[in-house]
């Protein structure tokens, strides 16, 4: 707790309002995030292949919208962009509760994806502006810790509410998630000042910019490409594939998903301050390399789960997510700190949108691979691919900040 207050005291009043809003909104996200594919399959009768492709479509829309949203943040400021995105998320999240056909599911997924693409980059820009450069790694870590506290609490709540045979229980989760987005919208609306508006360039600074300028920063490009690959074999695979692997390959109850992902998020909340202390002793480059190694290790626990009795298999998946959490605790404060360190102020919206596109691309490839391979009874081969893939970015990360 002492470490928590130490980092929390670094926040300005505006930054505190922002990160608390992120954490509260995450409670709703934790209630629904890991259950979407299960909900679409078990309650709405869609195949896992359709569910995986639907997530891939959502991610592709995020990719399409990500670039323009970054430019828009630089032109009109992050607050206006975030508020627009949150309105879309409010509508889409409520609509998930009533989706009953594929056409509606595609429409809702599209609106939700656009909302995500206009929200996340703007939050990072605002938090960067509200924080001293030397404190950013700590503050990004604190924000990630509160985010995961919310996700963990939401996961535990969902495990108490959701029932295999009850459509209403799933609908309740989505409606509660909608309410947390409304609260977050009000928190962002209450923020005022230059940190949330358009950046006003100084006389000696460029007045406009473009994505082409980012291509001229080699370290940023290595970080972006390495992060993209890591996301494909990390978050993109985990968020969509683990729920399917648990319920379709291992035949675990959906209630296990709340426990499995809660183990991940609780680990982050408890140990993130300690990891931040350790990060001060190693270079950012070594920190990034360690993420690949840690995530590859986490997949080995998934791979041995089918060899164990059902209850033990569930525990092994939970352990895999505890190990995965250590990689997250290194990646989440380090990657945005490096990206914003390398980015000129007038391109910060574009930079964070570019980094956000890692989620979009990985969200296209990860769910599509997971859904297709698990549907074809190739779950173990999928795990082997994810393990080896997590190691690919190591050489790219070694060239950053040289």
* Tens-digit pLDDT profile for residues 22-43: 988 999 888 887 778 788 888 8
Do 219 and 401 form a contact (C-beta atoms < 8 A)? yes
Its pTM surpasses 0.85? no
Q: Highest-confidence range of 169-178, 246-255, 334-343, by mean pLDDT?
A: 169-178
Only one residue has tokens 């995450």, namely 26
Alpha helices in 190-283 (DSSP H): 211-214, 218-232, 235-244, 255-279
Q: Is the pLDDT of residue 373 over 80?
A: yes
Handedness of CA 210, 212, 214, 216 (dihedral sign): negative
Look at residues 151, 140, 401, 98 and name the one whose alpha carbon lies nearest to residue 264.
151
Confidence of residue 201 (pLDDT cuts 50, 70, 90): low
All domains in the chain, ordered by first residue:
11-200+208-397 (1.20.1250.20)
The answer on pLDDT for 402 being more than 70 is no
pLDDT at 3 (0 to 100): 57
Percent pLDDT > 70 in the chain is: 95
- Higher pLDDT among residues 82 and 62, named by residue: 82
Q: How many Å separate Cα 279 from the centre of its chain?
A: 21
Q: What is the pLDDT of residues 274-313, one digit of tens each?
A: 898 888 888 888 999 999 999 999 999 999 999 999 899 9
Four-residue CA torsion sign, 268, 59, 92, 184: positive
At 87-114, the pLDDT tens digits run: 999 999 999 999 989 999 999 999 998 9
Please give the structure tokens belonging to residue 241: 């594939």
Q: Give backbone dihedrals phi and psi of 398, rounded to 5 degrees, phi first.
A: -65, -20
Question: What is the secondary structure of 116-173 as a DSSP string?
Answer: HHHHHHHHHHHHHHTS-GGGHHHHHHHHHHHHHHHHHHHHHHHHHH--TT-HHHHHHH
Cβ–Cβ < 8 Å for 261, 38:
no
Beta carbons of 292 and 227 less than 8 angstroms apart: no
363 in Cβ contact with 230 (< 8 Å)? no
Does the pLDDT value for residue 401 go beyond 80?
Answer: no
């Amino acid at each position: 707790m002492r470490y928590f207050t130490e980092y929390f005291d670094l926040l300005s009043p505006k930054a505190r309002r922002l990160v608390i809003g992120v954490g509260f909104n995450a409670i709703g996200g934790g209630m629904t995030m890991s259950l979407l594919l299960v909900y679409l399959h078990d309650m709405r009768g869609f195949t896992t292949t359709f569910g995986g492709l639907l997530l891939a479509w959502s991610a592709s829309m995020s990719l399409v919208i990500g670039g323009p949203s970054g430019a828009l943040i630089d032109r009109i400021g992050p607050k206006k962009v975030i508020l627009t995105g949150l309105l879309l998320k409010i509508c889409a999240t409520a609509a998930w509760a009533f989706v009953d056909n594929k056409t509606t599911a595609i429409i809702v997924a599209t609106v939700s994806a656009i909302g995500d693409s206009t929200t996340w980059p703007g939050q990072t820009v605002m938090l960067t502006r509200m924080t001293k450069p030397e404190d950013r790694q700590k503050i990004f870590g604190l924000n990630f810790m509160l985010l995961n506290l919310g996700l963990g609490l939401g996961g535990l709540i969902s495990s108490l509410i959701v029932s295999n045979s009850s459509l209403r229980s799933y609908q309740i989760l989505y409606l509660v998630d909608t309410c947390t987005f409304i609260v977050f919208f009000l928190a962002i609306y209450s923020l005022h000042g230059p940190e949330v508006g358009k950046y006003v360039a100084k006389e000696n600074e460029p007045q406009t910019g473009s994505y082409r300028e980012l291509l001229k920063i080699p370290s940023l490009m290595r970080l972006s490409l390495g992060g993209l690959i890591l996301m494909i074999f990390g978050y993109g695979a985990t968020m969509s594939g683990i729920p399917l692997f648990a319920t379709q390959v291992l035949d675990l109850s959906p209630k296990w998903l709340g426990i499995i992902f809660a183990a991940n998020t609780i680990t982050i909340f408890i140990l993130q301050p300690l990891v931040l202390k350790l990060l001060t002793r190693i270079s950012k480059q070594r920190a990034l390399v360690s993420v690949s190694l840690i995530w590859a290790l986490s997949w080995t626990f998934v791979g041995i789960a089918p060899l164990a009795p059902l209850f033990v298999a569930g525990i092994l998946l939970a352990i895999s997510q505890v190990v995965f959490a250590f990689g997250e605790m290194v990646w989440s404060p380090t990657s945005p700190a490096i990206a914003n360190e390398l980015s000129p102020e007038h391109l910060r919206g574009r930079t964070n949108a570019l980094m956000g596109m890692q989620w979009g691309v990985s969200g296209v490839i990860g769910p599509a691979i997971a859904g297709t391979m698990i549907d074809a009874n190739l779950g173990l081969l999928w795990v082997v691919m994810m393990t080896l893939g997590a190691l690919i970015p190591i050489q790219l990360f070694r060239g950053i900040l040289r």
